[in-house]
Structure 1
Amino acid sequence: MRLSHICSIQILGFGLIVLMAIGFTIQILGTHFPKRSQQISPLRLITAVPQPSHRTCQPRRHVMFLKTHKTAGSTILNLLHRYGDRNGLFFALPFKYQFNYPSSFQAHRVKGYNASSRPHYDIMCHHMRFNYPEVRKVMPSDSFYFTILRDPATMAESSFSYYRAVSSAFKKSPNFKAFISHPSHYYRQGERSNHYARNPLWFDLGFNSDAPFTEMYAKAGIRAVEDTFNLVLLAEHFDESMILLKEELCWDLDDVVTFKLNSRGTSRTLSHGDIERLRAWNALDWYLYSYFNRTFWDKVEHFGRVKMENEVKKLQERRQHLAKLCLEGSEPVVADQIKEEAIKPFQFGQEKILGWAIRKDLPPEVRTRCVRMVTPELQYKDLLDARQFPLKASNGSALAATPARAKGR
């Protein structure tokens, strides 16, 4: 009896010693290793976005974007591609990569379109020369129409570099300075691809870019744009534009966060005189831009300046956060430094078109999200095409007559 009592005491003592040792070990390890709950996975980092606390609107799912040339339209195209892709929306796609541009848009240029059966389309966003009556045949009546403009002076500098090999006026001029000094000396109405060389915004909107400037004609064009488009954005104020777009579409912050796509490696600095001459040469575009620059800031005032500053700050912080998570480096790189063909930008014109390299140490799901954010428009269009038209013809081209989803969801 006494012996068993002594053994019980010894066992109890030994147990207490073991428990104290375990507790001490846990305490030491806790100081050197963070708790699991404090670790944030890359997936949570890419998806953790504060949601609006009081949303009274419904996200718009029918969207028509007129993608104008050299105005940051490729970046906007990416966010539309991502939104539609993520939400299973149906795109009005061209047979190739543009809607038979520079010819005026016709509904039959949409892949899978049939005038009798009227397939259901949610988003239209690829290059076209705008033709509202024909667009209405394709898009739902409640579609949200928007476009983007850019100062015609800086736009001309970009266009000269990008389209010099195809525009007759640009090819004739020995350099950009010579073109600025005497544009009419090199420009001939109707010559090949000269719509890039004078009033290209006016042309993309479907108007006559060679028409003599009169205030009456310019005002008539502006009225037509206002009657058709719900929102006109400005390339020079891209972040503010994204906030206005987010609010109008009732989308979330991540829906409008982008990395700049299709940018060039270099650009020329324009003198004040160069800017004035280019604006005068593109008088219709300058009148258009000046008008919608005023209406843009009217919208910002109505939205609230302080509120806009706060929203832009959130957008920029989120972009920086995703860049750190997704990208190799903080600056775009030349295509040769991008090993993945799926995200290499298409090279066209004299300048190097830059793109983004994605980090290789990302989990698969996170990497997919990051890759989508930097996928150029041509490759993304092919991805959407393959989703909407999964059947392949024997020659490898997607069938145009059998869309994967018909009218009526």
Structure 2
Amino acid sequence: MFLKTHKTAGSTILNLLHRYGDRNRLNFALPFRHQFKYPNLFHSRSVKGFIASTRQQYDILCHHMRFHLPEVQKVMPSDSFYFTIIRDPAKMAESAFSYYRFVSSAFKRARQFKAFVSNPSRYYHQRARSNQFARNLLSFDLGYNPDAPFTEALAKAQVREVEKTFNLVLLTENFDESMILLKEELCWELDDVVTFKLNMRGASVPLEQRDVDQLRAWNALDWYLYSHFNRTFWEKVESFGKVKMDNEVRKLRERRQQLSELCLERLVPVGAEDIKEELLKPYQAGQEKILGWAVRKNLPPYVRTDCVKMVTPELQYMELLDARQFPVRHKMRQP
């Protein structure tokens, strides 16, 4: 069970889960559309094909949701492995503003990121449309109240709940080390966790230290959560072995480079206009330019199939999985 948080490289992790489940013919808990009725709390009835009375269970649950453990437990086996990924809330806020600036009421009111950072409470109103993107987004995705007044007791209680529920909490800033820890926990092979970055922006705004401090204060619940799991992450690395981790990360990066040279037309991501295959075009959010990858044409068919899957965006891959699991419905939709 992967809780895909927003603006944390979750789309990249989703791709490796899609590929692993697809390759091993595993059963995904899929939403009716693109997410599980987010921003509402997750409910088992939002899983396509789920019938409570039959208690059928799934192998992988990984698409966007607002986490709600009791309902997740109705869908997933009791011995499921739970993991998620988090990011420094200052960097996360800059990314969220860029991506959701025409969606969140607070961001639309501020218009400019610097204006929002200088006085977020001026633009932010509780319960306004899509304002979960503007404050304590990690806490919101985990199912908590992002507007709860910060106290250390509350923050500690939330951390304890996350620790109790999730077997592993990964860090966006240390993505490669995160992939090695995930591989170790799941007893996977190196190629299972080799990825190319997906859903990337063309550019980001550099943050001054003052901006970082203000954003961490504004997102105090998230900053406490991140600080705690940053510490425990490096404790896990220490337990794994620093020299061993360095060697594993080196192998991961070498393998990624090999696959890049094998699969990709260019070794850098490109704009959607430079990707000719519709299957591989990334979704464009408003005016933000989202980059993707073009796959080389002159590859053996079986090699190209694997390469294409490595760069297939989440929405298109979800459609492919949906067609596999619900073939009759997809056949009926065809003219």
- TM-score relative to the length of structure 1: 0.81
Pairs within 5 Å for 1:176-255: 176-255=113-192
Which digits, 9 at most, give the CA deviation of each residue in 1:185-235, with x for residues without a partner?
000000000000000000000000000000000000000000000000000
Q: Is 1:362 paired with 2:293?
A: no
The letter of the residue matching 1:278 is L
CA RMSD, 1 decimal: 1.0
Tell me how far apart the structure 2 counterparts of residues 272 and 318 of structure 1 sit (CA, whole Å).
Answer: 35
Q: Is 1:301 paired with 2:217?
A: no
Instruction: State the match for 1:98 in structure 2.
Output: 35
Which runs of at least 4 in structure 1 moved beyond 4 Å after TM superposition?
Answer: none
Instruction: After TM superposition, give the deviation of residue 351 of structure 1 in Å.
Output: 1.7
Instruction: State the match for 2:15 in structure 1.
Output: 78
Which of residues 306, 317, 320 is equivalent to 1:383?
320
Contact 1:222/1:288 (<8 A) preserved: yes
Instruction: After TM superposition, give the deviation of residue 350 of structure 1 in Å.
Output: 2.8
User: 3-state SS of the aligned residue for 2:67?
Assistant: coil
Pairs within 5 Å for 1:275-354: 275-354=212-291
Tell me how far apart the structure 2 counterparts of residues 393 and 308 of structure 1 sit (CA, whole Å).
Answer: 44
Tell me how far apart the structure 2 counterparts of residues 115 and 395 of structure 1 sit (CA, whole Å).
Answer: 25
Tell me how far apart the structure 2 counterparts of residues 120 and 182 of structure 1 sit (CA, whole Å).
Answer: 47
Contact 1:147/1:232 (<8 A) preserved: yes
Instruction: After TM superposition, give the deviation of residue 174 of structure 1 in Å.
Output: 2.8
The letter of the residue matching 1:191 is A
Instruction: After TM superposition, give the deviation of residue 393 of structure 1 in Å.
Output: 6.7
User: 3-state SS of the aligned residue for 1:92?
Assistant: coil
Contact 2:101/2:111 (<8 A) preserved: no
Structure 1, gaps ≥5 residues long: 1-63, 398-409
Contact 1:147/1:233 (<8 A) preserved: yes
Contact 2:323/2:330 (<8 A) preserved: no
Contact 1:266/1:351 (<8 A) preserved: no
Instruction: State the match for 1:165 in structure 2.
Output: 102
Which digits, 9 at most, give the CA deviation of each residue in 1:269-314, with x for residues without a partner?
0000000000000000000000000000000000000000000000
Larger of the two Rg values belongs to structure: 1
Tell me how far apart the structure 2 counterparts of residues 369 and 393 of structure 1 sit (CA, whole Å).
Answer: 23
Pairs within 5 Å for 1:5-16: none
The letter of the residue matching 2:280 is I
Tell me how far apart the structure 2 counterparts of residues 161 and 345 of structure 1 sit (CA, whole Å).
Answer: 16
Which digits, 9 at most, give the CA deviation of each residue in 1:152-208, with x for residues without a partner?
001000000100111000000030000000000000000000000000000000000
Give percent identity, aligned residues only. 72
Q: Is 1:108 paired with 2:34?
A: no
Q: Is 1:69 paired with 2:6?
A: yes
The letter of the residue matching 1:263 is M
Tell me how far apart the structure 2 counterparts of residues 395 and 350 of structure 1 sit (CA, whole Å).
Answer: 35
Instruction: State the match for 2:25 in structure 1.
Output: 88
Contact 1:343/1:375 (<8 A) preserved: yes
Instruction: State the match for 1:274 in structure 2.
Output: 211
Tell me how far apart the structure 2 counterparts of residues 189 and 129 of structure 1 sit (CA, whole Å).
Answer: 17
Instruction: State the match for 1:54 in structure 2.
Output: none
Tell me how far apart the structure 2 counterparts of residues 169 and 253 of structure 1 sit (CA, whole Å).
Answer: 42
The letter of the residue matching 2:157 is A
The letter of the residue matching 1:281 is W
- Describe the shift of the 1:394–1:298 C-alpha distance in structure 2 as closer, same or farther (beyond 3 A): closer
The letter of the residue matching 2:6 is H
The letter of the residue matching 2:252 is L
Contact 1:156/1:197 (<8 A) preserved: yes
- TM-score relative to the length of structure 2: 0.99
- Describe the shift of the 1:339–1:393 C-alpha distance in structure 2 as closer, same or farther (beyond 3 A): closer
Structure 2, gaps ≥5 residues long: none
Tell me how far apart the structure 2 counterparts of residues 105 and 382 of structure 1 sit (CA, whole Å).
Answer: 20
The letter of the residue matching 2:234 is W
Tell me how far apart the structure 2 counterparts of residues 394 and 276 of structure 1 sit (CA, whole Å).
Answer: 53
Instruction: State the match for 1:5 in structure 2.
Output: none
The letter of the residue matching 1:203 is F
Instruction: State the match for 1:146 in structure 2.
Output: 83
Instruction: After TM superposition, give the deviation of residue 390 of structure 1 in Å.
Output: 0.4
Instruction: After TM superposition, give the deviation of residue 396 of structure 1 in Å.
Output: 1.7
Length, aligned pairs only:
334
